[in-house]
Structure 1
Amino acid sequence: MKFIFTLPELLPPMTVKQLLEEQLLIPRKIRHFLRIKKNILINQEEVHWNQIVQSGDVCQLTFDEEDYPKKEIPWGNPALVQEIYQDQHLIVVNKPEGIKTHGNHPNEIALLNHVSAYVGQTCYVVHRLDMETSGLVLFAKNPFILPILNRLLEKKEISREYWALVDGNTNSKELVFKDNIGRDRHDRRKRVVNPKNGQYAETHVSRLKQFQNKTSLVRCRLKTGRTHQIRVHLSHHQFPIIGDPLYNSKSVCSRLMLHAYRLSFTHPLILEKLTFTAFSNTFEQELKKNG
């Protein structure tokens, strides 16, 4: 694999060592290979480790098979992929409801397999959505960019916004839920609020619209990323999501009314803020019927 990119304008001057280790998060072993094989060029010239690089410099990195062994997965159906954005390193797609982000075993076909077939190379999941949830998902197109995107996710620098249609009308326009979430001891599929043994979870909820049939359209922003977090928090506070088969058994709807509407982050290589929005036809159709 060979990658050529221009160091962005906002990048401060730093050594080659700092660039590879601190900015690009390249593992120590692979940095060693880049150095001894002279597989890093700056402005098409060989460099030493303490050389200063700065914005505008053109960086070329070449990785061998032993650096990042090729990973093979079954390819899916590229026609099922709705691309929102794509560049050399990453792709954002609009996931339909009813499909897993990735399989639970090597031969299971999921969105990851469809995206890999669409791109023409094995991709990697950066974050996932529940199978019943539709919306924006970010994938890495190579193992070089994956740890960099994972770092953004861990540092909460990837912002995700969801829309949900819920039972009930909220008295407040803005709500913040900070309930610890843990596993349900009686149903392994579910999560529950567990103040003592659960993990900290924080969800910010904004009311977008209230309807006469006592349902509400709300916007949810995640400050943490626990499994089923939005579904558990809303259900626990008496605003279960319509169509939720696990947390709103009384609701009848053709789909879970939860959609990942907005995704935003600063691209780690060009340092530009990227924001994407996408909607779902089935979500809109059900919103009209239920609203």
Structure 2
Amino acid sequence: MTLKISFTNHYGQVTVKKLLEEKCLIPRKIRHFLRMKKHVLINGKPVHWQELVEEKDQVLLLFDEEDYPEKTIPFGQKELVDCLYEDEHLIIVNKPEGMKTHGNEPTEIALLNHVSAFVGQTCYVIHRLDMETSGLVMFAKNPFILPILNRLLEQKKIKRDYLALVTNHFPEKKITFKDKIGRHRHDRRKRVVDEKNGKKAITIVKPLKYLPKTTLLSCQLETGRTHQIRVHLAHHHFPIIGDPLYHPKNSAKRLMLHAYRLHFTHPLTLETISVKGDSKTFEKGLA
């Protein structure tokens, strides 16, 4: 066996099938492996698919190497990792601005490589931040939890809150931007509002603090399009200070966008996880 996943059933009385499929959101292919190999153990004993699992029963899932082929990446520098939350399945770290979440080439060293060195094994990206953006990023510590966390993200069950310092005074109310976002025709780095061919994008924005010529905003993502917050705010004439793509005339030293909070329910423990990051570096730019 190459991987063992154990957890306590907190979902009440439920069949094995429903527990793995509907509660734990385990993908069909993985459920098939577990069922065919009889690699689901409840309180240490193999069970049938329709057998009942009771509240607080101990669940053990066993995986062979063929279920999850080993994947290795170059390790980075573990001392560069600012870890804010970690359990046996996932880790949340604070990414500095100017660092990529993951490399574009197999040998390129980025935050993913540093986190893998910190954990001591290959980790997996759940969501990413633009290189210029600082703040919280979540990684899976094993391939089992990866698709489960990805599904939570798709179902909007992982809430991501950002701080943004923008040009001009934002209206004194919460606004939800729903402009569709697509690729720029002539600049592959950029995205634009494109109601005809773009993809659904929803950003909830509310003002937090008014400064002489700028506004500090709280932004919450309901979808995760590339450059979503940056494009929505620039399109509505509130470009982010220091944005090299959507506010290039501004001379700020950094993009004033920071992912400061992640909030979700852990899919295996049902704990409410709310992590708030350090925004001191970001706040220096408000002065």
Q: TM-score over 0.5 for the alignment?
A: yes
Structure 1 residue 30: deviation in Å? 3.6
| Amino acid aligned to 1:175 | I
Structure 1 residue 175: deviation in Å? 1.9
**Higher mean C-alpha deviation, range 192-201 or range 257-266:** 192-201
1:44-71 CA distance string (max 9 Å, x none): 1221222100220001112111111111
Q: In the alignment, is the contact (CA less than 8 A) between 1:96 and 1:280 conserved in 2? A: no
Partner Cα separation in structure 1 for residue 174 and residue 5 of structure 2: 45
> Which residue is 1:248 aligned to?
247
> Which residue is 2:164 aligned to?
164
Structure 1 residue 29: deviation in Å? 4.4
Matched, 1:239 2:238: yes
Partner Cα separation in structure 2 for residue 30 and residue 209 of structure 1: 48
> Which residue is 1:5 aligned to?
7
> Which residue is 1:20 aligned to?
20
Structure 1 residue 28: deviation in Å? 4.1
Q: In the alignment, is the contact (CA less than 8 A) between 1:126 and 1:150 conserved in 2? A: yes
**Higher mean C-alpha deviation, range 12-21 or range 197-206:** 12-21
> Which residue is 2:76 aligned to?
76
**Higher mean C-alpha deviation, range 254-263 or range 273-282:** 273-282
| Amino acid aligned to 1:128 | R
> Which residue is 1:127 aligned to?
127
SS at match of 1:287: coil
- Map residues 194-213 of structure 1 onto 2, 5 A cutoff: 194-212=194-212
SS at match of 1:188: coil
Partner Cα separation in structure 2 for residue 19 and residue 176 of structure 1: 35
- Map residues 92-241 of structure 1 onto 2, 5 A cutoff: 92-212=92-212, 214-241=213-240
Q: In the alignment, is the contact (CA less than 8 A) between 2:242 and 2:254 conserved in 1? A: yes
Q: In the alignment, is the contact (CA less than 8 A) between 1:15 and 1:53 conserved in 2? A: yes
Matched, 1:286 2:285: yes
Structure 1 residue 199: deviation in Å? 1.4
> Which residue is 2:47 aligned to?
47
Structure 1 residue 283: deviation in Å? 0.9
> Which residue is 1:90 aligned to?
90
| Amino acid aligned to 1:218 | L
Q: In the alignment, is the contact (CA less than 8 A) between 1:259 and 1:279 conserved in 2? A: no
Partner Cα separation in structure 1 for residue 60 and residue 36 of structure 2: 15
| Amino acid aligned to 1:269 | L
Note closer, same or farther for the CA distance 1:205–1:62 as it changes in structure 2 (3 Å cut): same
SS at match of 1:91: strand
SS at match of 2:286: helix
Q: In the alignment, is the contact (CA less than 8 A) between 1:242 and 1:253 conserved in 2? A: yes
Partner Cα separation in structure 1 for residue 50 and residue 234 of structure 2: 55
Note closer, same or farther for the CA distance 1:36–1:229 as it changes in structure 2 (3 Å cut): closer
SS at match of 2:118: helix
**Higher mean C-alpha deviation, range 160-169 or range 102-111:** 102-111
Q: In the alignment, is the contact (CA less than 8 A) between 2:27 and 2:147 conserved in 1? A: no
| Amino acid aligned to 1:7 | N
Matched, 1:67 2:67: yes
**Percent of aligned positions that are identical:** 65
**Structure 2 unaligned runs (5+)?**
none
1:143-175 CA distance string (max 9 Å, x none): 111111111001011101100111101233322
Partner Cα separation in structure 2 for residue 223 and residue 35 of structure 1: 35
| Amino acid aligned to 2:245 | L
Aligned CA RMSD, in angstroms, stands at 1.4
| Amino acid aligned to 1:254 | K
SS at match of 1:255: coil
> How many residues get paired?
285
Note closer, same or farther for the CA distance 1:17–1:132 as it changes in structure 2 (3 Å cut): same
**Structure 1 unaligned runs (5+)?**
none
Partner Cα separation in structure 1 for residue 24 and residue 203 of structure 2: 30
TM-score after normalising by structure 1? 0.94
Note closer, same or farther for the CA distance 1:5–1:217 as it changes in structure 2 (3 Å cut): same
| Amino acid aligned to 2:154 | E
